[in-house]
Structure 1
Amino acid sequence: MSLLEVKDLKVGFQAVDGLVQAVRGLSFSVEPGRTLAIVGESGSGKTVSTQAILGLLPEADISGTALFEGADLLKLGEERLRQIRGAEISMIFQDPLTSLHPLYKVGRQIAETIRVHDSGVGRAQARRRAVELLGLVGIPGPDRRVDDYPHQFPRGMRQRVMIAMALALNPKLVVADEPTTALDATVQAQILELITELQKQFGIALVLLTHDLGVVARVADEVIVMYAGLPVERADRRTTYYRPHHPYTKGLLESIPGSTGVRQGRLRPIPGRPPSVLAVPPGCAFHPRCEYAMPVCAAERPPLGRVTGDGDHASACWLPHQAIGLGAEAEAVRLRVSGAETR
């Protein structure tokens, strides 16, 4: 049974020109101990979707369902949501320096997280737990660093503090929003290794939000690729990397240095730029940037349908539902599409 099951999530914001749809229909599920990676460029809707589920967008127009252990998070009152946030579902935000209070010592912030949800825990006990958590996430001298302020930690250590805070109440689900952004490669690897080790140790379900497919390759069990507020491909990690179907997924892979999609040692960036949520193209939102685009792509939005012979692999594309791959087969499809349009 899924720990979290989201169905047809839509998130909109009122603007001067009307309702802006940031998320236009997202469905996914996460099982205990598993990792779901939601991948997409900035503005794809990945962060907005999880913030909506956690009740962090009070001004948004939200519809759909988000069942967490059978309870619909989108219908719960603020008091109940506050009890769930931190205790049962935690979030690791992208920038720890803006998420941690600059005027409070990190130990106090972790201890207050614990005491807010458990009034029976005294200050001394909460402090001991904070020291224990800082040691758990690999911060040296935790009994001393517990009294330091956030600015006294380098960025990688601040991210470890955020992870410690997220784990303070032994949550069942952790949402990590770009947890390794702006970290150098060595520190990034350390943080990812830490997250996966703690996940295995405590059996936590993880939803990882990222634009970096290199990060996904290290930790994900299942991958959802989003574009312009919609999921365009869903598959397990191996299928995503070796048998992608959607041209956007293929483009993301070809823009990674050293990936299977790079030909003759050169990167192949995706042309153009993501659309504004104020003016999403009709049909498939990716068609203005797609090398496989056909007339139907501009006229009708493709459903997220199962790719032939690949289990839970699904793609929202009008191309035949057979995995495109990244080599000769993809080129053959491109030539067939081009030939159909020129006749």
Structure 2
Amino acid sequence: MSLLEVADLKVAFHTSDGVVQAVRGLSFTIDRGQTLAIVGESGSGKTVSTQAILGLTPEADISGRALFEGVDLLQLDEEQLRRIRGSQVSVVFQDPLTSLHPLYKVGWQIEELIRVHQPAVSRKAARARAVELLGLVGIPQPGRRVDDYPHQFSGGMRQRAMIAMALALNPRLIVADEPTTALDATVQAQVLELIAKVQREFEIALIMITHDLGVVAGIADEVLVMYAGLPVERADRRTLYYRPHHPYTKGLLESIPGSTGTRGGRLKPIPGSPPSLIALPAGCAFHPRCPYAMPVCVAERPPLSTVTGDRGHASACWLPHEAVGLSAEAEAVRLQAKGS
């Protein structure tokens, strides 16, 4: 049995303008010690899907199933979820400055997390654990910095403190939600290396949420690409990077500086903008931005189906799956020849 098994997750919000279909049918599994990267543009449903699983979207209409060690998280009440959050499942949010309370010392916040979930632990033991954790994530002089306030930490140090909090109760799963977006390139690499290190050492399952495929190049076992609330491609890291099938995935890869899809050092952006989740286009939601769109793309939504010859690789695209590995231009030529 997988550590976490999500099946047909749907999340919707009722607004004055209409129903926002944030997630429209997401399924995935993650095992102990595995790293799953969920990738996509802003508004694709990456963050809201994990927040819904953990009960952090109280105003949403949620359906589907999210089995964590056999227990459906979507059926638990707030008190039951509170016992799981922080102890068995931890979250590292995008902006640690807003996640850490500015009026309390960093060490005190780690201590409180420990004592809330483990009341039998003394204040002295909790403080010792906080110092140990800050040292574990590479904060120098942890015995002194444990008494500092969040504003006395740099951005990278605050993110390290958040990782320390995530590790405090030896969780089985960590959700890292855009943990490096606000950091410069050097600190970003250090934080990613730290996350990968602690994940390997403690055999923790990791869900990495990001909009940048370059961020997960060195740490993901499997990558799930989302667009407009739906998964559009799923594969192991190497397959996705070297043999992508969906045009949206190829577009994301070509937007990475230095990728093989860039020409003359210039980035190749995806044209257009993501669709409104209130008024989604018919058929494939990506077809207004796709240079290879066909009439069937407008009429019908493609299912997420297995790419020929690779059971672990699935794509939601009407382009022929047996042509994976060819350029998009070659696939278009193949379709034209087939139709003539």
> What is the TM-score of this pair, normalised by structure 1?
0.96
Matched, 1:335 2:333: yes
Report what 1:234 is aligned to: 234
Greater shift after overlay, 225-234 or 177-186? 177-186
Task: Kindly indicate whether the alpha-carbon contact (under 8 Å) linking 2:247 and 2:328 is maintained by their aligned counterparts in 1.
Answer: no
Report the AA paired with residue 25 of structure 1. Answer: G
State the secondary structure of the residue aligned to 1:20: strand
Deviation, 1:276, is 1.4
Q: Deviations over 1:108-160 (max 9, x none)?
A: 00000000000001111111110000000000000000000000000000000
Cα offset, 1:313, TM superposition: 0.2
1:306 aligns with 2:306: yes
* 1:155 matched residue in structure 2: 155
SS of equivalent residue, structure 2 residue 297: helix
User: What is the distance in 2 between the residues matched to 1:260 and 1:73?
Assistant: 41
The Cα shift of 1:280 comes to 1.3
**Is residue 2:312 matched to residue 1:315?**
no
Please say if residues 294 and 337 of structure 1, whose CA atoms lie closer than 8 Å, have aligned partners that are also in contact. Answer: no
Q: Deviations over 1:289-322 (max 9, x none)?
A: 0011001101110000000012210000011113
Distance 1:293 1:338 in 2: 12
- Hey, what's the Cα distance between the residues in 1 that align with 2:258 and 2:286? 25
Matches of residues 106-125 of structure 1 in structure 2 within 5 Å? Answer: 106-125=106-125
Determine the C-alpha separation between the residues in 1 that align with 2:219 and 2:202. Answer: 16
Q: Which residue is equivalent to 2:35?
A: 35
Task: Specify the SS of the correspondent of 2:282.
Answer: coil
**Contact 1:177 1:208 (C-alpha < 8 Å) held by counterparts:** yes
Aligned residues: 340
Q: Secondary structure at the match of 1:215?
A: coil
Say whether residues 1:220 and 2:214 are aligned partners: no
For 1:23 and 1:329, locate their aligned partners in 2 and report how far apart those are by CA, in whole Å. 30
In 2, Cα distance between the equivalents of 1:279 and 1:322?
A: 33
Partner of 1:71: 71
Q: Is the 8 A contact 1:283 1:299 kept in 2?
A: yes
Q: Distance in 1 between matches of 2:271 and 2:337?
A: 21
Structure 1 residue identity aligned to 2:159 = Q
2:213 aligned with 1:208: no
State whether residues 291 and 334 of structure 1, in contact with CA within 8 Å, keep that contact through their aligned partners in structure 2: no
The one-letter amino acid paired with 1:94 is Q
SS at match of 1:219: coil
Amino acid at match of 2:114: I
Letter in 2 for 1:128: A
SS at structure 2 position matched to 1:288: helix
> For residue 170 of structure 2, what is the aligned residue in structure 1?
170
- 1:165-314 paired onto structure 2 within 5 Å: 165-314=165-314
Deviation, structure 1 residue 334: 2.5
Runs of 5+ in structure 2 lacking a partner?
Answer: none
Contact 2:297 2:318 in 1 (8 A): yes
**How far does residue 340 in structure 1 lie from its aligned partner after superposition?**
7.8
Q: In the alignment, is the contact (CA less than 8 A) between 2:40 and 2:226 conserved in 1?
A: yes
1:183 and 1:78 mapped to 2: Cα distance? Answer: 33
Rounded Cα–Cα distance in structure 1 between residues aligned with 2:35 and 2:278: 32
Aligned-partner SS, 1:130 = helix
Per-residue deviation, 1:335: 3.2
TM-score (norm. length: structure 2): 0.97
- Following the alignment from structure 2 to structure 1, what is the Cα–Cα distance between the partners of residues 285 and 250? 16
Q: CA RMSD in A?
A: 1.4
- How much does 1:215 deviate? 0.9
Quote the residue 1:140 is aligned against. Answer: 140
Mapped pair 1:59 → 2:59: yes
Matching residue's letter, 1:8: D
Alpha-carbon contact 2:139-2:157 (below 8 Å) kept? yes
Q: 1:206 to 1:323 in 2, by over 3 A?
A: farther
Find the aligned partners of 1:84 and 1:329 in 2 and give their Cα distance. Answer: 45
